[in-house]
Amino acid sequence: MRDMDEMTRILDEASQLVVYARRLEDKSQELEMATRELTTANARLKELDKLKDDFMATVSHEIRTPLTSIRSFSEILRDNPELETDQRQQFVSIIAQESERLSRLINDILDLAKMEAGTTEWQIAEHPIAPILQQGLAATSGLFAMAPHIRLEVDIAPDLPAVQVDPDRLIQVVVNLVSNAVKFCDKTEGRVRFRASREKDFVRVDIQDNGIGIAAEDQEKIFERFQQAGNILTDKPQGTGLGLPITRQILERFGGSLSLVSAPGQGASFSFRLPTAAAVAAEPKVAKA
């Protein structure tokens, strides 16, 4: 009888050991998984920290450059009252341009920060798209006045439907893309083509320039923050490098998309598509919990 009791006790202890072994194995697997997750999270934190450092370094450089010009030319004007009128006018013009550049950079940074933090105020409603596109083009008229060698060709279809957008933000999209096209047009006989048409349940807008174009391997880079097209194409920075990322985020907010077709020596064509208001209204609504 004692032998049976001893055997039962041994079997019970063996069963408990098996259970403990399985629990240890499970804990070991959980620990391995947690370790992998921590390693991945740590790598991501290091990446984010580097991105933050790169961002701050780039912002500092971008702000310092126009500030240096503004200060230098202001001091020249202050210390040299005998300067010729034409030269004074030239320096004042440079100060104004650099001030505008600095203001644009700050506005772009604030816009991007608000969008990523989810604090941007959107006034999205149904609007006819054609008048908004016309307002956007009107806002770029000064660019063409300052560059008379660049011709603007506009083709907006007369039957464009309404879309669900924030008009001010859509105007910002048009200004960004047209300004970008103007910067990289041919330097002697520039041409910007602006075309808006309907594609089934979408409105498509194409902005094409006849500039030097963009190589395939560089096309995605220009949609990244502070990746100025001038750095890629000419080694001369033009713009803040934030216009295209902001433009893409605005369009995605409207349910649209932004794409690029280009090749070296053949100009660039940026296209965006927005769903019509009717198409948006027809989409099935997700029930709220």
The ranges assigned to domains in the chain are 1-120, 125-282
User: What are the C-alpha distances in Å from 90 to residues 25, 70, 78, 85?
Assistant: 77, 13, 14, 9
Range of 81-85, 119-123, 162-166 with top mean pLDDT: 162-166
Which has more confidence, 18 or 69? 69
> How far apart are alpha carbons 62 and 97 in whole angstroms?
14
Predicted model pTM: 0.67
Nearest Cα neighbor of 172 from 101, 243, 112 is 243
Give residue 170's pLDDT: 95
Residues 86-114 have pLDDT tens digits of 888 888 988 887 887 788 778 877 887 78
Which residue has tokens 């934030």?
242
Dist. CA 22–CA 134, nearest whole Å? 71
Three-state DSSP class for residue 91: helix
Q: What is the mean pLDDT of residues 151-180?
A: 93
- pLDDT reported for residue 203: 96
217-264 confidence digits (pLDDT tens):
777 777 676 555 444 444 444 455 677 888 988 999 999 999 988 888
Summarised one tens digit per residue, pLDDT across range 34-84 is: 888 888 888 877 776 776 666 666 667 677 878 888 899 899 999 898 888
* Local confidence band at 156 (pLDDT 50, 70, 90 cut-offs): very high
Say what the pLDDT of residue 241 is.
64
Structure tokens at 53: 């450092």
Calculate the average pLDDT of the chain: 82
Stretch 158-170: mean pLDDT: 93
Domain 1-120: which CATH class?
A: mainly alpha
β-strands 125-128, 162-165 pairing: antiparallel
CATH number for the segment(s) 125-282: 3.30.565.10
The predicted pLDDT at position 240 comes to 53
> Strand pairing partners for 203?
198, 274
| Cβ neighbours for 152, distance < 8 A, ≥ 6 positions apart | 137, 144, 192, 194
